[in-house]
Structure 1
Amino acid sequence: MRLGGGRESGNVQDRRRVGRGGGIAIGGGFGGVVLVVLALLFGVDPSVILSGLDGAAPQQQQAGAPAQDEGARFVRRVLAETEDVWTPVFREAGRTYEPPILVLFSGAVRTDCGNAQSTVGPFYCPRDRQVYIDLDFLASMQRQLNAPGDFAAAYVIAHEVGHHVQNLLGVLGTGQQSNARQVRIELQADCLAGVWARRAQDARQILEEGDIEEGLAAAAAVGDDRLQRRGGGEVVPESFTHGSSAQRVRWFRQGLSGGQLQSCDTSNARAL
């Protein structure tokens, strides 16, 4: 991705513990990942799976100069790109875009949706309108799922910001969602990530050769059917909460091809 000359968002909170790192998947290994956790990647409201942790979530680091490690700067630049896309999109619709806060954490974090461990994966909490990411765990997940690359990581961020867009538009709703409804919500977030990528590319040419393939590979890697097979079980479509690999790829492509918010109406789509 071409982000070197781009601005960095000021809407990132760094709550990582001392010894900040936070790389994007570039090699190494991570053993013992519980496969059921993989199915929770990119969740909307983690309250169902958040643990109490007995108040053990780490405290926010004291405010100071923004961290300058590669991972933190990458996140700030990608988040800035999402702000630069969604602000005019909302303006065109006669609305005001209110950017989310993206929280970097390590190990565990306290949110308005409950206390979460990094094994939940990246998630969006609609109650506090914040995106939460443990960069070290994200990199490990990318390696486990064979979905490396900077644009694959950017797709994750854009997907979670897509949930924020849904929240602002009143799409998420409240309370527990049925599996079928949850799938449509997740696929729409994939589509919105595609809209972001198309508009950012048209405006600032952020993509390099191979980036789109990285995004498509990441979308396919987190399909419910692939995760269920990876876990050694049967594929049970009725249990899907995020959509199949083919569906996730299709809706990411849908947003990418047109770059229009209207193309992401998964709620009324007859076929997903």
Structure 2
Amino acid sequence: MDDGSRGSPAGDGSPVRWRGRAALLWGGLGAFSIAVVVAGLALLVPTANVASTPQDTTSPRDFAPAADEAPGGSARNPLYDSSVPDAIDCPIPNLDPRSRESWEPFVDRVGGCLEDVWRPALEDLGEVPEPPLVTLEEGAGPQAQENGDGTEGTDSDAAGPTAEENWQTLASYHHGEITVMLGSVTSLAAAMADSDEEAVWLTLIAHEYAHYLQENAGILEHAWSLEQETDSEEEATEIRRRGELQADCLAGVALRSLGYEDEATIATVTTSLLGGDSPTHGSSDNRRRWLMLGWHAETLSDCNTYAAEPDFVR
């Protein structure tokens, strides 16, 4: 029976209970997998360097949700009636992304700040759930591959000529727990020119926190049901991709609420985290577009990817 306690970070077997703020947990090898709605969602980056391309900043505003979708679904969810969170004073500590010791206070503080950002929206929905755990896992597992049809593979079962480039999971969300993969983030940091920019790593966690928000708003459950109802792998992958792009948008909302108002900083975030095209996470242009749209959002309806035209969710 899981009573909410977790193993001791010191490894002595004594239980540690983390409540109200992010929990730190040192585990074994991090599992690498392509995001699956509800069962597990992840933020991915390509293992190869991807050249930055000019951004198309066309805005996908003025959405028209499907007329036959019931209220409470993914496109007509009451979350979209909420205004963007107010700015909050929650200073983020400096981070050396190559240091485990530096990550501990960082995830603890960021988890608490994101809880403060999103609490009003959850209360508007009549939800007061336990905040998610934010845990750290050492190591990096085998790379995952995304195939041309949006399915996943590993190095040992790649889909031949349809397989795309390899991707690594930096962080994942699974039913109330956010996990940061230390082996992956330290590898990425070593290759990044702006690895000391805390906004990059805050965005990483904010993307996964957005999946927690989607889950508690009922968006993920509805999207998952739509995936199960379709016989088309292409349609199922598009539904999954809409969820990931929405998480990018909500991460942009959180950045603005936490006081990141410099466009140069946001440009660093998009260049560092959102490069490369992914069947399940979207094109680099669309990932950057949605994060920027969230950063500029006036209401959370601006992040309604489920009602966006197909071109904006490719």
Q: TM-score range by the shorter chain?
A: 0.5 to 0.7
How far did residue 92 of structure 1 move? 3.8
Percent identity of the aligned residues?
28
Closer, same or farther: CA 194–158 of 1 in aligned 2, 3 Å: same
Partner amino acid, structure 2, of 1:244? S
| Cα offsets for 1:97-126 (capped at 9, x unmatched) | 5311111111379xxxxxxxxx54311113
Quick one: structure 1 residues 13 and 259, their matched pair in 2 at CA, closer, same or farther if it must change by over 3 Å?
farther
TM-score between both structures, scaled by the size of structure 1: 0.62
Q: Does the CA-based 8 Å contact 2:170-2:180 persist in structure 1?
A: yes
Contact 1:146 1:221 in 2 (8 A): no
Counterpart residue number, 1:13: 24
Tell me which residue corresponds to 2:188.
141
Partner residue, 2:267: 213
Report the counterpart of residue 189 of structure 1 in structure 2: 247
Match of 1:74 in 2: 106
1:209 & 1:86 partners in 2: Cα distance? 23
Give the aligned CA root-mean-square deviation in angstroms.
3.4
Q: Which protein has greater RCO, CA pairs closer than 8 Å, 6+ apart? A: 2
User: Which structure: larger Rg?
Assistant: 2
Q: Deviations over 1:50-104 (max 9, x none)?
A: xxxxxxxxxxxxxxxxxx9211111111111111100122224443253111111
Unaligned runs of 5+ in 1: 1-7, 18-36, 50-67, 110-118, 225-239
**Gap runs ≥5 in structure 2:** 1-18, 43-99, 142-167, 228-235
Hey, what's the Cα distance between the residues in 2 that align with 1:132 and 1:215?
20
- 8 Å CA contact retained: 2:38, 2:215: no
1:246 and 2:288 equivalent? no
Structure-2 residue corresponding to 1:265: 304
The offset of 1:158, in angstroms, is: 0.3
SS of corresponding position for 1:172: helix
- CA distance 1:162–1:48, change in 2 (3 Å): closer
Residue 95 of structure 1 aligns to a residue whose secondary structure is coil
Match of 1:161 in 2: 209
Deviation, structure 1 residue 170 = 1.1
Kindly indicate whether the alpha-carbon contact (under 8 Å) linking 1:15 and 1:104 is maintained by their aligned counterparts in 2: yes
Q: Which amino acid is 2:106 matched to?
A: F
The number of residues matched between the two structures is 198
Within 5 Å, which residues of 2 pair with 1:63-142?
A: 69-107=101-139, 120-126=169-175, 129-142=176-189
